[in-house]
Structure 1
Amino acid sequence: MTYRVRRVGREDWERLRELRLAALSDPVAHLAFFEPYEKAVRLGQEDWQRRASDGERPIFVGETADGKWVGMVGLLTVEAHVEVVGVYIAPEHRGTGLAARLMRAAIEGAGGREVRLRVHQNNARAARFYANLGFQPTGASAPDPRDPTLVAYELAYRGD
């Protein structure tokens, strides 16, 4: 399948909202998000427009040839590094290479800074995917805010 990967703009807020809500309601992908569906669904147009156009938190999407959004990845600048956040691929597009293309866009979007992310302890598939891209454990972890008995491990990509 052919995909176009591009950065989201303010005018894309409705499509971003639709994709984010799909991600938050996905029975597998929800592990990657700390924002509850119930909170996101209540956000207004201005909130979504701000998310779509925030220069400090760019979002890249993957869209099909017919323009349907089927994947996303966001970036958040934190001091000297960049955090990857909000990674999601629609179920019917998993395993197609889109996630790797989105992650390459995120790494490029980091502008040479170290790229970090957190992967939930119960998301072994994502952990394998990130390892295959060259992400390595940093040794840091943080509790899952929804369940402090679970953790998310930090991984870092420092370049080729």
Structure 2
Amino acid sequence: MSYLIRTIRADEWERAREIRLASLQDPVAEIAFLDTYEEAVKRPDSFWRERAEGASEGASESGTGVRQFVAEAADGSWAGTITVLVERPADEVRFGGPAKTDQTHIVGVYVRPEARGTGAIDALFRAGVEWSWSLPEPLIRRVRLYVHEDNARAAAFYRRFGFVASGETVALEGDGGALEVEYEYLRPVA
């Protein structure tokens, strides 16, 4: 199946909320996301509007910010999504260690069960990495993400795509000492 991979528009906040809530109901959500369905469903519409606006086309043209990509099927439904955060060494740390270089950070990875194995995730990651490399100076040197140590399915995809474990980990509070493992994808040397 082929998908149109695109950035969300600010006016699609309800669709962005719906796919986020769906992701938080996935059977592996407790090891895939740092958020819960119970908390997310309580958030007001204003939260979802601001979130969509900040991750939409044009919102981060300056090279700082966020971009949310979706895999849109021929019928207009969203099969999956990823969000890419720009991180600069001087930025406040969102999760994990501080940015060691100019980098992006992939979060919110989700593909609906019926779209898994169709190439949607590969296309989303290609778009996210290509967008990262396209940002203006200073150049993005790496793309990173974190995966729960027990999320073998996700880790296998990341490795297949070309990410490698960086050696960095983050302990999760209240999860019995569980770790999030940092993976990185380095910018090819020109």
Q: Bin the TM-score by the shorter chain.
A: over 0.9
Letter in 2 for 1:118: Y
Q: How many residues align?
A: 160
1:110 corresponds in structure 2 to 132
Q: Counterparts of 1:88 and 1:146 in 2: how far apart (Å)? A: 24
Deviation at 1:148, TM superposition (A): 4.4
1:15-64 per-residue CA deviation (whole Å, 9 max, x = no partner) reads 00000000001112442210111111111122111111213121000111
Deviation at 1:159, TM superposition (A): 3.1
1:58-96 per-residue CA deviation (whole Å, 9 max, x = no partner) reads 100011100011100001112111100000000111111
Change (3 A) 1:39 1:133: same
What does 1:51-90 correspond to in 2, within 5 Å?
A: 51-54=51-54, 55=60, 56-79=65-88, 80-90=102-112
Question: Any gaps of 5 or more consecutive residues in structure 1?
Answer: none
Q: Is the 8 A contact 1:5 1:63 kept in 2?
A: yes
Please state whether the residue corresponding to 2:145 is helix, strand or coil: strand
Q: Counterparts of 1:57 and 1:64 in 2: how far apart (Å)? A: 23
Question: Any gaps of 5 or more consecutive residues in structure 2?
Answer: 55-59, 89-101, 134-138
Which protein has the bigger strand share?
Answer: 1
Q: Where has structure 1 moved over 6 Å in runs of 4 or more?
A: none
Q: Counterparts of 2:181 and 2:173 in 1: how far apart (Å)? A: 13
RMSD: 1.3
Q: Counterparts of 2:173 and 2:161 in 1: how far apart (Å)? A: 27
1:141 corresponds in structure 2 to 169
Which protein has the bigger helix share?
Answer: 1
TM-score normalised by the chain length of structure 1 = 0.94
| Percentage of matched positions with identical amino acids | 41
